[in-house]
Chains A and B, each alone.
Chain A
Amino acid sequence: MAKTILTGLYWDNSQLRIQVSNDDFNLLVHSDTPAIYTYGGVDYPIYNTGYLRQGDYNHYLCILGDTYGTITVEYYDDSRHEWRNVGTYNLSQSDDNNGLWFTKTIYNISDVKVFGIYLEANGFDDIPGFTSPQEYYDYITNRYVQYQWTSVPAISGKNGILSLTMIKDDKIEDGTTIHQVLPEDNIERYTAQSNMRLICLNHLVNEWFIAAESGLNQLQLRYNYGGTNNDILVIEFKIRNHYGEGNNQYYADVYSGQIYQPPSLDGERDAYLAFIIDEENEVAQFDPVTHYRVAESTPPLFGVDYGYLQPTDQQMAAVYYFLKGSPEEIDEDDPYADGIEGDGGDGNPYQPQDHLGLSTKPTKSGLNLGIVTLYNPDESELAAIAQFLWSDDTLDNFKKYFNNFADNIMCLYVLPVTPDAASKASKVFKVGNLASEDSSLQSVDYITDRYADIDMGSFYIKRKWDSYLDVSPYTKLEIYLPYCGTHQLNTDEIMYPANSEGYLPVESESDIELKLNYRVDLVTGNIVATLFVNGENRYQFTGKCGMSVPLTGANYNNMIQGAITAGAGLAATIASGGLTAPLSASAAVSGTVMAQKPEVYRSGNLSGDVSMLGYDTPYLIKTIPSKPKLDKQEIYTGYPSYKKDLLSNFSGYTEVIEAHIDDVSCTSAEKDRIMTALKGGVII
């Protein structure tokens, strides 16, 4: 790792420039920093005191380096148009120091470009001499909560990451976020229009209240006032992450700490929570910081003090994961994000999707209007109906009104569907206007709801390999649906169903629920089979069930003709599937030959009368590749990585696509050899 020695610090209007031993890079201070510091109505140019300092102490400064060393501080002299030396300082860890604002070490970071995102709370004044909270409240009567959320687009609002959009929004408390479904939604929040006095008066002394809160992952500030030791203001930072799903959602702190305002200071107090993001878009450091007075002068000089809190490594790691999620997720979800807006490629990893449920039944069925009735007779009732229909009296009566009674007995068929008792009623059987007087037909069930929903079961599948072998073209999924035939499914969609926020499932979310619902039109026997993947409507297939019972010769001929036609279609389908099934030409390296196996249709359009003779349980057919057990294959060939990191973070067999070996001090020929070796595979 290259050592980064701080050798220069340049304050140039809105930029703090740091010169290091081997490179220049800019530290951006995210504000409209004036070059003039105004105090008491007097403008003080920032360089006239001999100290390098911020022109406006409402800014956050940080200096990064992985080692301590000597720094030279300069300022830019506008009148001479040149940088002037201020002095040379030795940094040590205990420095905090002489009006300069550095002494921080960044964890394992070198060549750092800094993107500080920070938030600051600014709204309380602490003026010595207040004798009571009420006096203080009066002082702040007309002051309002001020949020000055500032950020850079180094982090996007993906899952597990601080949503900068929310933070940049003054209405941070109004975010339509997941926390609204939690009990903590009841906590009080204050808007930027909230009057501080009213806020204070509505809280007990020493009562904590939340003064600011961000959205998605709930970064909040808490204030305390009153207190002891004249601490009028205590600020507590809390970074809370959201965990869990469904009914088991909760928040937990990934970081919590307090800043006690130094009692001896005067002037406005600012508190910051600074995130420093390195060039890898990783969290290098975060710190709660406050300003403190570094010189008793007029105007007073302020520095930034990091000394009140020092997060532990565990907290740093927690914040890292809070902001970034797991490294693997970052690589996969947002591979092109570089934190620079306008150059394209960043995309938006947050791709929410809508819930698709079961369709709505048609509101009009044509039943129960006196036009047609859908009877559900049992066998004895059907026999009685036959007697009724074929009796001389009945025929005579029919002949009075109709040429053919089949016009009124539209069809009789056998359905494999159990009509729901709630959707049935009973009445006297009648045809047209002719009611049966048979005692056994005085109360015949009939259907009141034309459409029946049938739960056809469910089951869970798991990914076999949790690798690309689990998706197409290596893994194939087909589904057999009684009365609907066999259909191919999109393996990618089934095996890696995106969640409601559009993210791929993590490995632990390996159970995938497939659930099937049939909706049957009891008049026609038409079926719509709906397949749900993890509760989401993903597929709808059509079919037809029911076996006709011929009532007339015409009925019978039609039925036979229909069977012949259906059989011909089935045969054609099978033939077509077998002969013209594609020999895949797009197979990738692994399983190339396997991916060329022909597609064979299993049951074609198995529906209609003949379908009653088919298998009556739906099932999934999963075809997965068989992978030989190559023990310790990774030590011979490695496994795909396609990740960027320090080579020291890899071990064993390592093969690179490209590497930056600029910092290796060797001859050009040796660099070529190193690159050749790295690309050919080395063992670290």
Chain B
Amino acid sequence: MTITLRKCISENNRLDKVFVDDADKEYTGYLREAADILTPKIKIESSDDLSQYNYAEIDDFNRKYFCSIQLLQKDIWELDCEVDVLSTYATAIKGCYALVKRTAKKNKINYHMNDGVFYTEQRQIVTYHAFKKSGEFAKLGTENYFLLVAGG
């Protein structure tokens, strides 16, 4: 089997991970112990410094993994892996329909839904808008008139 160790700089919840360029290390060997496909623990003998690696791809398992690496003894590293389902199945996931609650995609946002992500300050803006006629304030009462109600 072939294990490719990589340095992932993406958030764990990103489907398409980004890696440090030219840092991949590839190791070929075979399993000596049983390994759970979702959370395999694999020992590697290597004189390389693997302490900065945090991601692995195992082609035989058809999966990608987050991994933590510890040095057991000189040149013996243990990879404690946990499957990264988002990256492993990224293509298939993107092909799924979903009812989406929140998104950053501009044309998919409905700003009229209120689910509490628009934060507002306690202070408010109070503005005053006069009714106008021909650009001037409309008034009732600038000029006054007498009215006399008389019988007859």
A residues contacting B by CB (< 8 A) are 1-2, 328, 331-332, 370-379, 382, 385, 407-419, 429-434, 447, 454-459, 461, 464-469, 474, 482-483, 514-516, 518, 522-523, 545-547, 549, 588-591, 593-594, 597, 612, 616-628, 630, 633-635, 637-667, 669-670, 673-674, 677-678, 680-684
Cβ proximity bits B88-105 to A, threshold 8 Å, 1 near / 0 not = 110011111111111111
| Of the residues B100, B131, B138, B140, contact of A483 by C-beta under 8 Å | B140
Q: How far is the CA of A641 from the CA of B112 in the complex (A)?
A: 9
The answer to the question of B30 belonging to the interface, with a C-beta cut-off of 8 Å to chain A, is: no
Could you write out 6 A-B pairs with CB less than 8 Å apart?
A378-B146, A459-B132, A628-B120, A640-B113, A642-B113, A670-B89
**Does A620 lie within 8 Å of B129, measured CB to CB?**
yes
Query: Could you tell me if A414 and B146 are in contact, using CB atoms closer than 8 angstroms?
Result: yes
Known contacts A626-B121, A656-B101; A457/B131 CB under 8 A: yes
Given A626-B125, A670-B38, decide whether A643 and B100 contact each other with a Cβ distance below 8 A. Answer: yes
Closest chain-A Cβ to B140's Cβ sits at a distance in Å of 5
B124–A624 contact, CB under 8 A? yes
Whether the Cβ atoms of A430 and B152 lie closer than 8 Å is yes
Distance of A618 from chain B, by nearest CB (Å): 5
Choice from A414, A433, A628 contacting B145 with Cβ under 8 Å: A414
**Closest chain B residue to A507 by CB distance?**
B111
- Shortest Cβ distance from A516 into B: residue: B131
Task: Name the A residues within 8 Å of B111 (CB-CB).
Answer: 465-468, 639-640
Which chain A residues border B110 with CB–CB below 8 Å?
Answer: 328, 331-332, 639-643
In residues 68-88 of chain B, which contact A (Cβ within 8 Å)? 83, 85-86, 88
User: B114 in the interface, Cβ–Cβ < 8 Å?
Assistant: yes
Least Cβ distance of A534 to chain B in Å? 15
Q: In the complex, how many angstroms separate the beta carbon of A669 from the nearest chain B beta carbon?
A: 6
With contacts defined as CB atoms under 8 Å apart, how many contacts are there between chain A and chain B in the complex?
369
Contact of A627 among B86, B89, B118 (CB under 8 A): B118
Q: Are B131 and A432 closer than 8 Å at their CB atoms?
A: no
Question: Please, which residues of chain B bring their CB within 8 A of the CB of A429?
Answer: 150
Determine how close the nearest CB of chain B comes to the CB of A529; give it in whole angstroms: 10
Q: How far is the CA of A454 from the CA of B105 in the complex (A)?
A: 50
Contacting pair B131 A648 (CB below 8 A): no
B117 contacts A by Cβ under 8 Å: yes
Q: Which residues of A contact B60 (CB under 8 A)?
A: none
Name the A residues within 8 Å of B148 (CB-CB).
374-377, 382, 385, 409, 411-412
B142 — which chain A residues lie within 8 A by C-beta?
416, 616
| One of B139, B147, B149 near A617 (C-beta < 8 A) | B139
Q: How near does chain B come to A611, taking the closest CB pair, in angstroms?
A: 9
Give every chain B residue within 8 A of A633 (Cβ-Cβ): 117
Within 8 Å of chain A (Cβ to Cβ): is B108?
A: yes
B145 CB contacts on chain A under 8 angstroms:
376, 414-419
B141 at interface (Cβ–Cβ under 8 A)? Answer: yes
Among B7-15, B21-29, B48-56, which stretch is in contact with chain A? B7-15
* B15, A682: Cβ atoms closer than 8 Å: yes
Find out whether the CB atom of B133 lies under 8 angstroms from the CB atom of A645. no
What CA separation (Å) do A621 and B129 show in the bound complex?
Answer: 7
CB distance from B19 to the nearest CB of A (A): 15
Considering the chains assembled together, what is the distance between the CA atoms of A678 and B101 in angstroms? Answer: 10
A433 B125 Cβ-Cβ under 8 A: no
Q: Are A634 and B104 in contact (CB under 8 A)?
A: yes
Say whether A407 contacts B151, CB under 8 Å.
yes
In the complex, what residues of A have CB within 8 A of residue B133's CB? 455-458
Q: Cβ of B102: which chain A residues have Cβ within 8 Å of it?
A: 637-641, 653-655, 681
What's the nearest-Cβ distance from chain A to residue B37, in Å?
8
Q: Do A372 and B150 contact each other (CB < 8 Å), given the known contacts A416-B144, A633-B117, A677-B13?
A: yes
**B residues near A416, Cβ cutoff 8 Å:** 140-145
